[in-house]
Structure 1
Amino acid sequence: MPVRQRSNPGSQSALRLSNQQRILSTVSGGPTTQAEIARATGLSTATVSNIVKVLVDLGLVATSPTTSSGRRAQLVSLSSTDGAVSVGIDFGRRHVRIIVATLDYRVIAEKEIEIPAGYTAAEALDIAANLLTSTLNHARVSRTSVLGVGVGVPGPIDRRTGTVVDGAILPEWVGVTVGMVEEIFELPVYLENDANLGALAEVTWGSHAGTPTVVFVKVGTGIGAGLILNGVPYAGNIGLTGEIGHTPIYEHGLLCRCGNRGCLETVASTTIMIELLSRTLDRPVRTKEIVRLALEGDERAIRVVEEAGLAVGRSIAAITNLINPHTIIVGGPLTGLGEMLLGPIRSALQRYAVPMIMETTDLVMSSLGERAEALGGAALVLQQAGIKPTVS
């Protein structure tokens, strides 16, 4: 489950929210009469009627007269795309990206802005809040129509407290809580690790939608994995899953920010790739330039990419042997490299993974590119509201 401040589980407000989600989940399968909803959910017809009225006022559903078994009835369906929306926001080292989606999983607005490196969490949240307002205004969507905001951050989140903890790529975020984000946005917020959102986006919006077991690996400033097991995002005990960037590769390698030596992050992150290539070229480079140079055939950039890919593949092999996924999806800012990055990852997998497992596992590049995490945030809000994907 994503992190979000909630009412006391036994409170009336929590019960109403639960019942709303049950009804939305039922209706997301297609237009349904109130009597059919009552039978499907076990709620009384009076309760269903009252909740449907609330959902109509919120713009989540619409009703229309119909007949059922020869009797007049009320047909309930998800509202049109002019109704409620969900919002996904992704924070990176140098960017904030926002996506607004309708209840039928259609993106109606999308914006990205660059922000200076080294920003504080408070500065980033203020920038995002202003971006949210301007994006909604541009899309002509009322703020009251926002069902919630799914926020992705590049770091682990302790689900017991809803707090970003040590290990975040952006140390400025350590200590930030979901409550603090909700105060700034003045909207319900679901706080999640960015790799987890990337995984959710891939099985919701991507070309592998519906794939039951997926490993999504984001290769960026840090390296993290989001897991989908049997169609459900896997969060582990307290939410700290997929930290493959801190898997030791070389026993006597560089000191990692986690305290260990030779971690994958010290070998294959875009940070180390930038450092190596900048030193070789004797000038500063950025991630986009790594992609451009490699695609243009620069031998130095190609070497850096190959070595990073081999290290990533070796780490992924351990996960592959453990959970036997259907698909491994590589995402992050290097997706434009395509087979140039997938090739060395595949070579390492073939060496370190069990042969039969590797033979039956697909390795692909993300079809969503750098949009994945924000899309995952929007999908998270909808699915927490009980609104099932309508895309295939």
Structure 2
Amino acid sequence: MSNVSPFQPKLLSKINERLVLRMIQERGPSTRSEMSKYIGVTFPTVAKAVSSLLESQLLEEIDDASAGPGRPAKRLRLASENSQVIGITLSGDECTVVAGDLNGTVHKESVLRFPTPATYELLLAEIETCAKSFISSSGKSTLGVGVSVPAVIDYGKQVAIMSANLPLVNGKSIGKDIQNLLGHECVIIHDSHALSLSERLHGNAKELSNFVMLDHCIGIGLGLMVEGRFLTGDSGFAGEIGHSPVVLDGELCKCGKKGCLETVASEWAVEERVSKLLGRPVQISEVLELAQGGNLEVMQELERMCDYLAIGVAHVVNILNPGTFFIYGRVFEACPKLFDLLVEKTEELALKPSVAACSFARANGSLLDGTVASVINYLTDSLVPNLEDYLSSLSQGDSQNSIADETLVPS
């Protein structure tokens, strides 16, 4: 068995730093001794990794309140006192800018909202004003910015390729443009992926590596998590279920095609139908108030929405065979029985073995939380983008327990 590591010392240092971060993310504030035991590395190796993470402001030290007599041990936690990240959510009607810490906590006092402007230039100006107010007034170091976009995203180029519901970002390098304005690294993420991250961090997917997230809002999107990674497809376009055709020669969709799922099952489709029903324009918030108030005609329109949405959900169940299927949307928050109806209709349409193996649940995460989580993921994963691949290589090479100085031994 060779004692020579297949990796360079600098990479090994980064791997150790990533393992330290992952442990704290999973187990909370920890001492250096606890890290050494849990990760399976020597104390000096942990100390070196922690020192680097403290210097980069990803971690901070706190006193161990549970320590006994004598000099108290120091625990390390994800930075919250002196560091922050900025999260930005974009949609067709409203945009939000927030500040959060590296635990993924959104600072409720640091939330600014504004109506979505008519042009890309005005959008950038609003974002710059809001974000800079947090950056300049917080007294904290801003480590990065995350932006969730309702668009098909080229993750490699960080470009919003196409958004049916926010066309002003089409073809724009919005991440790069915001980075240039704010002077901080910026990453963009599909809004369905942001919701998936939020569910893993704050919701019911903490122990799940494989699940599906349906994002039902103005548009309809799908987040696919496989072995802890997003399934984005060859060009990043996977999950665009809202633009799957379900009605032959149906209504014109905002994407330019006809009969898409969004034309019969999205919030904007419901708004259009209820507006025709009432003879005046209404927004989804009023639609839901009418449904909650017992308006039978409005409720029938929402049930019709579920009929079509179940077709799309059944396709996903049959094709992907997910173990857990999360449903996100304010329609289902306001009218929980519509969630039950959607599941019932899906069970009628999907293959029995596939749907029997699938658990349906309402999502508990939020888009804001997920956007903040996207920055945290970017900051931590940038240390070692393919951590699991490296750990697998170490295992296959039988190099565990044999790396001098930069020992790396996953527990």
**With structure 2 as the length reference, what TM-score do the two structures score?**
0.77
Paired residue type of 2:90:
F
Task: Please tell me whether residue 358 in structure 1 is matched to residue 355 in structure 2.
Answer: yes
The Cα of 1:289 is off from its aligned counterpart by 0.6
SS at match of 1:334: helix
Cα distance between partner residues in 2 of 1:304 and 1:13: 59
Unaligned residue ranges in structure 1 (runs of 5+) = 1-11, 67-71, 388-392
Matched with 2:403 is none
Cα gap change, 1:34 to 1:239, in 2 (>3 Å): farther
Cα gap change, 1:22 to 1:365, in 2 (>3 Å): closer
Deviations 1:207-237 (Å, cap 9, x if unpaired)? 4433333221122221111112233332222
Among 139, 145, 151, which residue is 2:147 paired with? Answer: 151
Among 137, 142, 153, which residue is 2:139 paired with? Answer: 142
* Paired residues of 1:155 and 1:193 also in contact (CA < 8 A): yes
Cα distance between partner residues in 2 of 1:39 and 1:231: 21
The Cα of 1:262 is off from its aligned counterpart by 0.9
Task: Please tell me whether residue 291 in structure 1 is matched to residue 288 in structure 2.
Answer: yes
Cα gap change, 1:262 to 1:100, in 2 (>3 Å): same
Matched with 2:375 is 381
Matched with 1:169 is 165
SS at match of 1:59: coil
* Paired residues of 1:266 and 1:272 also in contact (CA < 8 A): yes
Matched with 2:114 is 114
Cα distance between partner residues in 1 of 2:87 and 2:115: 18
Cα gap change, 1:80 to 1:151, in 2 (>3 Å): closer
Cα distance between partner residues in 2 of 1:37 and 1:231: 25
Task: Please tell me whether residue 225 in structure 1 is matched to residue 219 in structure 2.
Answer: no
* Paired residues of 1:22 and 1:41 also in contact (CA < 8 A): no
* Paired residues of 1:87 and 1:150 also in contact (CA < 8 A): yes
Deviations 1:49-101 (Å, cap 9, x if unpaired)? 676445324432245899xxxxx9x9672255313223322111121223333
Unaligned residue ranges in structure 2 (runs of 5+) = 1-8, 65-70, 382-411
Task: Please tell me whether residue 331 in structure 1 is matched to residue 340 in structure 2.
Answer: no
Cα distance between partner residues in 2 of 1:217 and 1:247: 14
Q: 1:209-358 counterparts in 2 under 5 A?
A: 209-358=206-355
Q: 1:192-211 counterparts in 2 under 5 A?
A: 192-211=189-208
* Paired residues of 1:195 and 1:216 also in contact (CA < 8 A): yes
Task: Please tell me whether residue 367 in structure 1 is matched to residue 364 in structure 2.
Answer: yes
The Cα of 1:170 is off from its aligned counterpart by 0.8
SS at match of 1:363: strand
Q: Equivalent pairs: percent with the same residue? A: 23
SS at match of 1:104: coil
The size of the alignment, in residue pairs, is 365
The Cα of 1:35 is off from its aligned counterpart by 11
SS at match of 1:113: strand
Cα distance between partner residues in 2 of 1:121 and 1:22: 40
**With structure 1 as the length reference, what TM-score do the two structures score?**
0.80
Cα gap change, 1:14 to 1:161, in 2 (>3 Å): farther
Cα gap change, 1:36 to 1:201, in 2 (>3 Å): closer
The Cα of 1:309 is off from its aligned counterpart by 1.1
The Cα of 1:38 is off from its aligned counterpart by 12
Deviations 1:151-175 (Å, cap 9, x if unpaired)? 1011110123211112442110012
SS at match of 2:198: helix
The Cα of 1:181 is off from its aligned counterpart by 2.0
The Cα of 1:26 is off from its aligned counterpart by 5.0
Cα distance between partner residues in 2 of 1:157 and 1:245: 15
Structure with max Cα Rg: 2
Matched with 1:89 is 88
The Cα of 1:201 is off from its aligned counterpart by 0.8
Paired residue type of 1:343:
D
Cα distance between partner residues in 1 of 2:245 and 2:299: 24
The root-mean-square deviation of aligned C-alpha atoms, in Å, is: 3.5
SS at match of 1:148: strand
Which has the higher mean CA deviation after the structures are superposed, 308-317 or 321-330? Answer: 321-330
Paired residue type of 1:253:
G
